[in-house]
Structure 1
Amino acid sequence: MKIKATLERIPGGMMVVPLLLAATINTVAPDLLRIGGFTQALFVDSANALIALFLLCTGAQINVKTFGVSLAKGATLLTTKWIVGAIFGLLAFMFAGDNGLWMGLAPIAVIAAMTNSNGGLFVALVGQYGNKDDRAAYSLLALNDGPFLTMVALSIFGMMGFVNGMFSMVSFIAVLLPIIIGMILGNLDEEMRSFLDKGSYMLIPFFAFSLGMGINFSAIITGGIGGVVLGFMTVFITGTAGYFVFKSLKWNPIVGAAEGSTAGNAVATPAAIATASASFSSVVDIATVQVAASTVTTSILLPLYIAFLVKRLERKGTTFNHGEPARRAG
């Protein structure tokens, strides 16, 4: 039975299939794998640990002489995602009706969902379609976790003042440290670099499954059509913007598109914003469910969109071999 070959024939299959399988299990029988012990530790609670190990393995492949390229890619991703999300958030505020909503969407939900990205999803997609510099770009993307960049956008728009405590340097360093440790190990010992390289690809289906165990399809129903629309906007607008920005810079455009998602931590952003400014309290409930729906929608839709983009590039002659895109000869 050729399981690996079958998964590899499906665009993004090493990530998409485990994630959707786990999401289905979590929706239909959420307690099936939550039985404690090694089973729950591996299949339910392992995402953060496995992603951290993936980042360490990735860091080991980085040559200190080229680390600047990874930082440039990370900064470009972060800036593109924030600018696009902030622009649509501003439009939502400008054209919101008397009920404080724009086409049924809460403006703070638009900013929270579109400026934030799912780091685990990005790591999984780039692990399959990006090179070592692309994977290390994640080192900067932790900055869009939580309400910090939403707060920055709202402050620029004059909607509220900046509030201390919305960004944690310790949390940022905690994300960066595995990459740095891996980079030190890889640059000190070539054999260690080769040893850790094996983990970069192998870990993807395992942490993808664990990520899927955090997805419940019922969130799409709860968030209503507005949350689904917000998810589509996040994937097709921010993802496409990242695609073309990276393409214009002669970088792998799939990596740019891989930022088109909303992370689960963004669900708490509307409440955090409302706590800092009571003027948002009237829309905090609807904003929360819309962001939650966007999180689930993008988790399902983005891998499919990436698969479409990969197929499109392959038809034009680009091949993807374990994360290294190249033009076909002839």
Structure 2
Amino acid sequence: MKIKATLDRIPGGMMVVPLLLAATINTFAPNLLRIGNFTEALFVNSASALIALFLLCAGAQINVRSAGIALGKGFTLLFVKWAVGALVGLIAYIAAGPSGLFLGLTPLAIIAAMTNSNGGLYMAIVGQYGKEDDKAAYSLLALNDGPFLTMVALSIFGAMGFVDGMFSIVSFISVLLPIAIGMILGNLDNEMREFLAKGSDMLIPFFAFALGMGIDFGAIIKGGLSGVLLGVATVLLTGTAGYLIFKAFGWNPLVGAAEGSTAGNAVATPAAIAAANASFASVADLATVQVAASTVTTAILLPIYIAFLAKRLEKKNKLQQYYQLPN
């Protein structure tokens, strides 16, 4: 049975198939693999550890002389993601007000979903389509985890004052450290670089499966059509913006599009915002389910969108050039 060959024929198959398989299991038989010990540790709870190891292996492949490019890509991704989400949120805020609805969506849900990206999904996509400095760019993307950038956008809009304590420098360093350790090992010893290079590709289907075990298709039903609309808009607007900006810079545009998702931890953002400012309490519950629906929708749709974009580049004989361009 040629399992790997079959997965290779599916665009993004090494990431998409395990993720969707796990999401299906988690939705219809959530306790099937939650039986403790090694099984649960590997297939359910391993995403963070495997992504950290993936980052270390990727960091080992980065020549310290090119680290600035990785930071440039990371900042570009971070800014484009935030700017698009904040702009759409601002339009919704102006049209509906903080307690109203814009196309059935709360402005709070729009900003929370569009400014916060799924780092694991980004790493899975970039692991298949990107280079080592594309993976290292993830270190800066830790800044959009949680409610911090959502609150920055809201404070700019004058909807609330800036609230301290929503971003931890320790959390940021904890994301950066595995990459830094990998870079040190790889730059000190070429044999260590070669040894760690073997780990990156192998880890992708395993952490993709673990990510899928955190997805429940039922969230789409709870969030309703508006939540699905939010997920589609997040992929098309923030993903396409990243694609176009990266293409304009001569970087791999698929990496730019890989930010077009909503992170699972964004589901907690409306409650965090409401706790900081009571004026959002009336919409926090609705915003929460809409963000949850967006999380699931983007997890399914973004890999498909990336595969579509990759096929377009391949038909134009442009896909290979991004692997050959110096990063």
What TM-score bracket applies, with the shorter chain setting the length? Answer: over 0.9
Deviations 1:110-157 (A, max 9, x none): 000000100000000000000011111001000000000000000111
Does the 8 A contact of 2:126 with 2:255 survive in 1?
Answer: yes
Does the 8 A contact of 1:318 with 1:325 survive in 2?
Answer: no
Offset at residue 98 of structure 1 (A): 9.3
Does the 8 A contact of 1:64 with 1:187 survive in 2?
Answer: yes
Instruction: Report the equivalent of 1:12.
Output: 12
- Structure-to-structure mapping, 1:213-292, within 5 angstroms: 213-292=213-292
Q: TM-score, normalised by structure 2?
A: 0.98
- Structure-to-structure mapping, 1:186-201, within 5 angstroms: 186-201=186-201
Deviations 1:292-312 (A, max 9, x none): 000000000000000100111
Instruction: Report the equivalent of 1:302.
Output: 302
Does the 8 A contact of 1:59 with 1:186 survive in 2?
Answer: yes
Alpha-carbon distance in 1 for matches of 2:152, 2:320: 37
Alpha-carbon distance in 2 for matches of 1:300, 1:138: 21
Instruction: Report the equivalent of 1:325.
Output: 323
Alpha-carbon distance in 2 for matches of 1:69, 1:98: 38
Q: TM-score, normalised by structure 1?
A: 0.97
Amino acid of the structure 2 residue aligned with 1:325 = Y
Instruction: Report the equivalent of 1:117.
Output: 117
Alpha-carbon distance in 2 for matches of 1:60, 1:16: 26
Does the 8 A contact of 1:318 with 1:326 survive in 2?
Answer: no
Offset at residue 318 of structure 1 (A): 3.1
Offset at residue 103 of structure 1 (A): 1.2
Between stretches 240-249 and 91-100, larger displacement belongs to: 91-100
Between stretches 99-108 and 14-23, larger displacement belongs to: 99-108
Offset at residue 3 of structure 1 (A): 0.7
SS for the counterpart of 1:159 is: coil
- Structure-to-structure mapping, 1:1-330, within 5 angstroms: 1-96=1-96, 100-319=100-319, 325-326=323-324
Runs (5+) with no aligned partner, structure 2 = none
Does the 8 A contact of 1:227 with 1:293 survive in 2?
Answer: yes
Does the 8 A contact of 1:116 with 1:262 survive in 2?
Answer: yes
SS for the counterpart of 1:279 is: helix
Deviations 1:278-322 (A, max 9, x none): 11111001000000000000000000000100111000113459x
Alpha-carbon distance in 2 for matches of 1:244, 1:210: 31
Q: 1:45 to 1:181 in 2, by over 3 A?
A: same
Q: CA RMSD in A?
A: 1.3
Deviations 1:221-267 (A, max 9, x none): 00001110000010000000000000000000000000000000000
Alpha-carbon distance in 1 for matches of 2:320, 2:204: 16
Alpha-carbon distance in 1 for matches of 2:203, 2:231: 27
Alpha-carbon distance in 2 for matches of 1:143, 1:251: 22
Offset at residue 325 of structure 1 (A): 2.5
Alpha-carbon distance in 1 for matches of 2:323, 2:316: 12
Amino acid of the structure 2 residue aligned with 1:220 = I
Deviations 1:176-204 (A, max 9, x none): 10000000000000000000001111100
**Count of matched residue positions in the alignment of Structure 1 and Structure 2:** 325
Does the 8 A contact of 2:27 with 2:217 survive in 1?
Answer: yes
Alpha-carbon distance in 2 for matches of 1:278, 1:100: 15
Does the 8 A contact of 2:242 with 2:259 survive in 1?
Answer: yes
SS for the counterpart of 1:236 is: helix
Amino acid of the structure 1 residue aligned with 2:323 = P
Runs (5+) with no aligned partner, structure 1 = none
Amino acid of the structure 1 residue aligned with 2:248 = S
Alpha-carbon distance in 1 for matches of 2:142, 2:183: 18
Does the 8 A contact of 1:19 with 1:209 survive in 2?
Answer: yes
Does the 8 A contact of 2:98 with 2:107 survive in 1?
Answer: no
Alpha-carbon distance in 2 for matches of 1:40, 1:180: 29
- Which segments of structure 1 move beyond 4 Å, counting only runs of 4 or more? none
